[in-house]
């Protein structure tokens, strides 16, 4: 048994249909005659804004899907036993079945699209993680009469539709009921609900005299989730405008008829599949319809226009259903009318041996209160913004706020904002960066973290454990049921096994004794510190953006895993310890590689900087969106200028790496600013700083302690270092602010993972950073990683 599946609105993309248009010029001309515009040109050249408007999207998709169906049959000779189209794509299925000819189907779709585009005052939202029965109970309990289920895409991904104000106001209710996501869609109408009654009546008048032929191949009705009855075809096509799309039940019907995932063919615009992943998700979560469900009578024509399905998808599940996730790569999470918001979590190829839920360590997820073993790293100066952390927390992922470089009170305010925006028990973290030369800043951070009750920190740039970090660890240590528990959890980001070993050992005895004598910890805390490692998890940082030792995960992860195993045996009454991987992860291939190495979780960094939520400028995001894997370079670090430390930064379109190297070279060659050759000095002042060295030092003197400035006055070389370091500070600030006058001097910490990610999403909606959201990226990366692993293991097993 074989089924052809046709994706609906949301699957459109610029450039779709190119080869199919060329293969059927006569039908393209027919389409132009019907529509009054060149549909091939619209699909090829856009503009995208027009292609995304319902009155243009629907006929364009009908034409592309229909032509690609004809081309598929012509090239393969395939024949389907069932046809199924998602909402507007049901008309493609009817064309493929011979119910309408190409032009007639297009006229119907064009009319349908124009009527739907006229709708105003409505809204839609994709609800992920709740089953149909739960949503029905919620709508009844809260008396949400202006909201109706519109699309049952999978057992746990349902689109609701209704009055716009009601849709917006209901978000908190759905999230409180357990939804993992509530994603309002940019629509003007309450599609597939009784609010579309006027459009339905007008469409009924339009279709009344349109000839319809008997089906040659059964078409599954969106309205009934059963094959169309020829005598009822016209009525069902009219009903579809106000009735929910029962896609999940339709797929379960196919499963019951013997159609498996491998027996389905998705025929639609070029690019990643849109509706086929829903088949796998439905198969995993609910399985085929049972005998009693198959025997259920089909509702009479015109009955219960917005009723929920009488069957409950989850009741037929053969295993505990996993949490749903946002749409996969290549499928926008917001569509024009909510018709296609495909679910990806857990979708796997082959036989589903690996799902999103089986990636990494479930113990890590339980320890940190997460759904998935994935974190977004702490990009400094709030590039890892509160918006990133909130979006991650709401998705059951771990977001780390980028506190480095910010005043303590700014970090405190950010924590307050995060807590106000996330569920009570949702996890989040804060970056705790080492300050080798200013340990008092570490003490300030520890005081604030303890006062605010922050339970997870990412300790970064530490070459050794410090007193402030030990004090943070000590607070909240306790005995419980024969075990030692830690309220304050530390994820140590390291790039050397010797540093990892320090965090997998107890706090240094000398530091514990000193803190005890100073009264910073009590005797009980001191005793427990000797029974626990300093960190709960080690994040192995390989070649990445910003500060990095340019390590390779294949060399770093195995020895650190061995250290972890030894530490777990040593601290038997503490519990599991974890090893994660960061650096270079921007594609499923990279994520799969570190997970196969044994990583319990993954951390992404650079790719989150080029998202809607990132706390940097649009100008930086525009630059990052266009880079490839070779468009980064190593440049001197401003924080450790004198030591020659390196950071990885963007090089495409900017002069910063070259100019930073130039300043370091001058510092090494000269003992003072005055010894620099006058012409070169003038060039540096004019091009780099756009002011004199004296003016720069005057500004520096306002921000450094008086003792530091006095030292600079005595030591000309130190004065030169402070002046040159100001360039590094300015270049960061110019980038964060998007100061286009200084665009060529932007300092943007970034690794090659960004370029790899850009290549991965090329040709999809996520090609634009304005369509990139940190949680959607995370979940599509996990989903595609699971799919990749299945395919790789399948290939190796042959």
Residues catalogued as catalytic:
87, 192
Q: Prior bond to 47 cis, omega within 30?
A: yes
8 Å CB contact between 547 and 645 = yes
Q: How many CB atoms lie within 10 A of CB 372?
A: 25
Is residue 40 helix, strand or coil?
helix
Q: How many CB atoms lie within 10 A of CB 260?
A: 15
CA 715 from chain centre, in angstroms, equals 50
CA distance 347 to 525: 46
Is residue 353 helix, strand or coil?
coil
CA distance 145 to 149: 11
365: Cβ contacts below 8 Å, ≥ 6 apart: 371, 372, 373
Q: How many CB atoms lie within 10 A of CB 612?
A: 16
CA distance 721 to 346: 53
Structural Rg of the chain based on CA atoms: 30
CA distance 44 to 66: 17
CA distance 250 to 78: 21
Q: Which of 46, 54, 53 is nearest to 17 (CA)?
A: 46
Place of tokens 């994040």: 539
Q: Which of 118, 120, 106 is nearest to 64 (CA)?
A: 106
Is residue 273 helix, strand or coil?
coil
For 317, which DSSP code? -
CA distance 433 to 594: 25
For 357, which DSSP code? G
Largest CA distance in the chain: 97
Measure CA of the first residue to CA of the last residue in the chain; give whole Å.
24
8 Å CB contact between 282 and 25 = no
151: Cβ contacts below 8 Å, ≥ 6 apart: 87, 158, 159, 192, 244, 245, 247, 338, 339, 341
CA distance 254 to 260: 8
Burial state string for 196-220 with b = 16 or more CB within 10 A and e = fewer than 16: beebbeebeeebeeeebeebebbbb
600: Cβ contacts below 8 Å, ≥ 6 apart: 360, 361, 363, 364, 373, 537, 578, 579, 580
β-pair type (157-163, 122-128): antiparallel
Token pair belonging to 763: 């040709």
Backbone angles phi, psi at 190, to 5 degrees: -90, 75
8 Å CB contact between 344 and 325 = yes
8 Å CB contact between 254 and 82 = yes
Counted residue by residue, the chain has a size of 798
Place of tokens 């709708």: 119
Reported as half-sphere exposure (CB side, CA atoms, 13 A), residue 385 has a value of 17
8 Å CB contact between 133 and 152 = no
CA distance 386 to 12: 32
Token pair belonging to 267: 């025929």
* Sequence-ordered alpha helix ranges (H) in 145-246: 164-169, 171-176, 197-207, 233-239
8 Å CB contact between 63 and 18 = no
């Amino acid at each position: 048994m074989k089924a052809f599946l046709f994706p609906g609105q949301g699957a459109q993309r610029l450039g779709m249909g190119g080869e199919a248009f060329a293969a059927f010029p006569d039908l393209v001309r027919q389409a132009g005659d019907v529509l009054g515009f060149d549909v091939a040109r619209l699909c090829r050249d856009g503009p995208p804004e027009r292609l995304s408007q319902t009155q243009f999207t629907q006929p364009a998709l009908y034409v592309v899907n229909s032509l690609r169906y004809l081309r598929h049959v012509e090239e393969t000779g395939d024949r389907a036993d069932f046809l199924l189209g998602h909402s507007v794509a049901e008309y493609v299925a009817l064309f493929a079945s011979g119910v309408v000819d190409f032009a007639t189907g297009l006229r119907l779709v064009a009319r349908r699209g124009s009527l739907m585009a006229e709708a105003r005052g409505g809204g839609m939202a994709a609800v992920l993680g709740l089953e149909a029965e739960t949503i029905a109970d919620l709508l009844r309990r809260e008396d949400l009469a202006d909201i109706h289920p519109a699309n049952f895409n999978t057992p746990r991904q349902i689109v609701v539709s209704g009055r716009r104000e009601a849709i917006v106001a209901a978000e908190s209710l759905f999230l409180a009921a357990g939804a993992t996501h509530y994603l309002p869609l940019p629509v003007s109408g309450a599609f597939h609900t009784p609010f579309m009654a006027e459009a339905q009546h007008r469409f009924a008048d339009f279709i009344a005299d349109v000839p319809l032929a008997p089906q040659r191949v059964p078409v599954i009705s969106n309205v009934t989730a059963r094959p169309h009855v020829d005598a009822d075809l016209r009525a069902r096509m009219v009903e579809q405008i106000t009735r929910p799309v029962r896609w999940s039940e339709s797929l379960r019907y196919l499963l019951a008829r013997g159609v498996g995932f491998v027996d389905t063919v998705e025929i639609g615009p070029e690019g990643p599949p849109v509706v086929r992943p829903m088949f796998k998700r439905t198969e995993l979560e609910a399985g085929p319809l049972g005998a009693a469900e198959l025997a259920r009578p089909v509702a009479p024509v015109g009955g219960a226009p917005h009723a929920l399905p009488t069957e409950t998808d989850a009741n037929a599940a053969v295993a505990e259903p996993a949490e749903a996730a946002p749409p996969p790569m290549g499928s926008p999470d917001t569509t024009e009318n909510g018709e296609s918001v495909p679910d990806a979590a857990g979708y796997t190829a082959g036989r589903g041996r690996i799902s999103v839920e089986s990636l990494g360590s479930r113990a890590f997820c339980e320890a940190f209160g997460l759904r998935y073993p994935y974190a977004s790293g702490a990009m400094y100066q709030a590039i890892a913004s509160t918006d990133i952390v909130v979006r991650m927390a709401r998705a059951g992922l771990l977001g780390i706020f980028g506190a480095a470089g910010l005043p303590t009170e700014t970090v405190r305010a950010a924590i307050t904002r995060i807590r106000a925006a996330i569920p009570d028990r949702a996890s989040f973290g804060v970056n705790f960066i080492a300050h080798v030369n200013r340990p008092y800043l570490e003490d300030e951070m520890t005081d604030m973290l303890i006062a605010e009750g922050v339970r997870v920190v990412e300790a970064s740039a530490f070459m050794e454990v410090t007193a402030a970090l030990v004090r943070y660890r000590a607070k909240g240590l306790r005995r419980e049921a024969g075990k030692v528990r830690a309220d304050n959890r530390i994820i140590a980001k390291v790039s050397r096994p010797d540093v990892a070993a320090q965090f997998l050992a107890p706090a240094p005895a000398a530091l514990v004794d000193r803190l005890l004598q100073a009264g910073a910890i009590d005797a009980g805390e001191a005793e427990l510190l000797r029974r626990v490692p300093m960190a709960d998890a080690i994040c192995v940082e390989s070649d990445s953006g910003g500060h990095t030792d340019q390590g390779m995960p294949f060399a770093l992860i195995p020895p650190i895993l061995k250290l972890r195993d030894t530490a777990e045996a040593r601290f038997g009454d503490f519990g599991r310890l974890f090893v994660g991987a960061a650096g270079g992860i921007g594609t499923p291939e990279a994520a799969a590689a570190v997970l196969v190495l044994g990583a319990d979780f993954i951390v992404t960094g650079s790719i989150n900087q080029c998202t809607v939520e990132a706390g940097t400028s649009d100008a930086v995001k525009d630059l990052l969106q266009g880079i490839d894997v070779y468009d980064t370079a190593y440049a001197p670090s401003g924080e450790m200028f004198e030591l020659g430390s390196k950071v990885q930064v963007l090089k495409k379109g900017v002069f910063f790496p070259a100019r930073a190297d130039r300043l370091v070279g001058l510092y090494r060659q000269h003992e003072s600013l005055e010894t620099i050759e006058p012409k070169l000095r003038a060039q540096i002042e004019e091009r780099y700083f756009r002011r004199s060295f004296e003016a720069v030092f005057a500004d520096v003197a306002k921000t450094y302690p008086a003792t530091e400035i006095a030292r600079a006055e005595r030591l000309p070389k130190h004065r030169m270092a402070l002046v040159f370091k100001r360039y590094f500070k300015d270049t960061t600030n110019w980038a964060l602010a998007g100061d286009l006058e200084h665009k060529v001097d932007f300092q943007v910490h970034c690794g090659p993972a960004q370029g790899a990610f850009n290549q991965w999403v090329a040709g999809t909606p996520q090609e634009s950073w304005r369509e990139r959201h940190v949680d959607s990226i995370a979940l599509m990366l996990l989903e595609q990683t699971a799919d990749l692993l299945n395919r790789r293991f399948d290939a190796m097993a042959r």
